[in-house]
Structure 1
């Protein structure tokens, strides 16, 4: 039985059980292929009191994020998304060269570099030593630490309160929701703003995006459950934006409760959509596991048929979500010869659990495979353009989510 980490209730219900998998970013070296590889249950449950969807906290974030394999700047579209956010936030909040912006989990400076370019004082709080160093080398001031209430207060004491605190794609990555939220409140000025981007559980359920369930994500939010989580730390959500990123995300705008004011019409509308989808009660979760099974069967049937027909299939990308999909489907190098990735950190390594080689992107043009399975499907537009050359030899792209789709590219 799981105890809800937000409200403490023991009333939880199963959403989907994906078996046991290794942590999704623990790529293996060649030497590690001969060693045991630990796996952990990957079972998503939902609390029927506060409706927070969550995994059991089986991993210590320090084991994953101290030396991290993910560098945000390798995605061109993600850097552009960060610039658009920066431009909009500066205009919305009236930020100037006298303002102070803090980003939590700032990664390699993909977002704050746009703040630096505007001459606005800023600081990244990033736990991963290697990506934090990359940010400093790019000219982004970065403090290496996990956010807690104490860390937030230390940063505030040294640098002053922040007019804007940004926490993009990190609110799902922390098991101590209460302590992290109090850390956000410690960072932000008493009249300041907090902006949080996180995947929306509504689109995850509606579009079968089960591969975004992995051990680094300890919880999955609706606006309602996020509202409750932030309220526990003294922050009130006053506005929400629906974003296409990661297949469907929400951008929450929150303020200290004392100055928050009334919620926007957009927030009211999204809460109504969630309620209509049944996500504020158990009915919205009951059929998800069956739809997950359908995705698995469709992908395996395709890969097996391609192999029997003598066709070659390789992967594009080695994201965390891809490793959930590969492990759940039991895909090995006999069905997916290798996958490529732009991040040189992963080259020469092997995907966790499935042990598929990760190589340089130019291997695709050299080998001319029949099919390229796109694992970071959330970057579909960007990668369809990048991989248009595959059509030159009649190759096709395969997208597994939300349903299997085979796409011709580069054909006029």
Structure 2
């Protein structure tokens, strides 16, 4: 990487180098286990001019998202998060039968189903053929396409301008930040609203959430860098909410610059927090790599000790972030013989790079392991409840992030 993709600067400084890994959602079918598997460098850098943290665009969105292994609806807490958002947004913006809502990267309709239920006209724009088909089957109108200025203009010409454009967990996934932002502006009405949810770099750094660094996440935002990114497409940040999702996320409320007005107090408050954490100078990034290395050492020490003591450890979940963790730590089936996942698409497949089998969740109760390593640690509250049954045989849960934590669960 030689230039920042947002401002064009060459002033890029290393934050953490995680080696080389395969794309995190490229789960392997059994017949591919003897085939070559490409791996790409995973090196996070920060631009010291605009403070956008980023990795090189070594894979394209088309490679990742044309067929996608992640279905949002398999997380109960995420579906509920979407339902609450739709209710609140409808009240905040006065959405009704005459309104139009567009969601970009709408996945399997996990959010827009709630818009449909309210009788509000909507459209999903989803590039992945398989998950978009699932959305349509669920009754959510969905266009299979990547967002660009041209796509945005075509949707607007056919359906009219959107009163609300939602872009949850996609703003990090596109290497052409400026083109994507212009696409958002093309979709939204001149007096409309854009809501963007994206992981907050502040919590990523503070909570050692390095496993959320992977190839389909091209950049990592602070409010300061998000303001600049939104402005590149003609949008102005007017409000921000701090969310607990994904270990700590931002909900950015933006409007076309001509309708925006002055930003609310919360924008200034979060900017002040970021500045106090040193995220607008290199000092805020220099210790991160050492803390990442400690996560790796602690997890490997636990797994090796458990193996030598004859204790069994299996995984729960097969999220993209888990594959960053497994590959960085060099964990193979000798230390983690399998993981399970609620998504049947992943059953019978193997984790990229580490070749760990992905099985149905029922396997845990059948095998009664001593420990369950929870890879989607961001769903901790949900999964402690879901996995309470491991208490029946004295099993315990293990969370690797932000630091190694062994939890005894109770019914």
- In the superposition, the TM-score normalised over structure 2's length comes to 1.00
Alignment partner, residue 262 of structure 1: 262
Please list every run of at least 4 consecutive aligned residues from structure 1 whose deviation after the TM superposition is greater than 2 angstroms: none
Alignment partner, residue 62 of structure 1: 62
Map 1:10-409 onto structure 2 (within 5 A).
10-409=10-409
Name the CA distance, whole Å, in 2 between partners of 1:171 and 1:266: 21
3-state DSSP class of the match of 1:64?
helix
CA deviations over 1:122-161 (Å, ceiling 9, x no partner): 0000000000000000000000000000000000000000
Displacement of 1:31: 1.0
3-state DSSP class of the match of 2:195?
strand
3-state DSSP class of the match of 1:197?
strand
- How many pairs align? 411
Displacement of 1:333: 0.3
CA deviations over 1:67-87 (Å, ceiling 9, x no partner): 000000000000000000000
Displacement of 1:410: 1.8
Displacement of 1:2: 2.5
CA deviations over 1:20-73 (Å, ceiling 9, x no partner): 000000000111110111000000000000000000000011011000000000
CA deviations over 1:152-198 (Å, ceiling 9, x no partner): 00000000000000000000000000000000000000000000000
3-state DSSP class of the match of 2:251?
strand
Name the CA distance, whole Å, in 1 between partners of 2:3 and 2:224: 19
Q: Which runs of 5+ in 1 are unaligned?
A: none
Name the CA distance, whole Å, in 2 between partners of 1:286 and 1:388: 39
Name the CA distance, whole Å, in 1 between partners of 2:279 and 2:103: 30
Name the CA distance, whole Å, in 2 between partners of 1:403 and 1:2: 33
* RMSD of Structure 2 on Structure 1 (CA): 0.5
Name the CA distance, whole Å, in 1 between partners of 2:26 and 2:179: 26
Name the CA distance, whole Å, in 2 between partners of 1:248 and 1:64: 24
3-state DSSP class of the match of 1:127?
coil
Q: Which runs of 5+ in 2 are unaligned?
A: none
Alignment partner, residue 6 of structure 2: 6
Name the CA distance, whole Å, in 2 between partners of 1:161 and 1:224: 28
3-state DSSP class of the match of 2:73?
helix
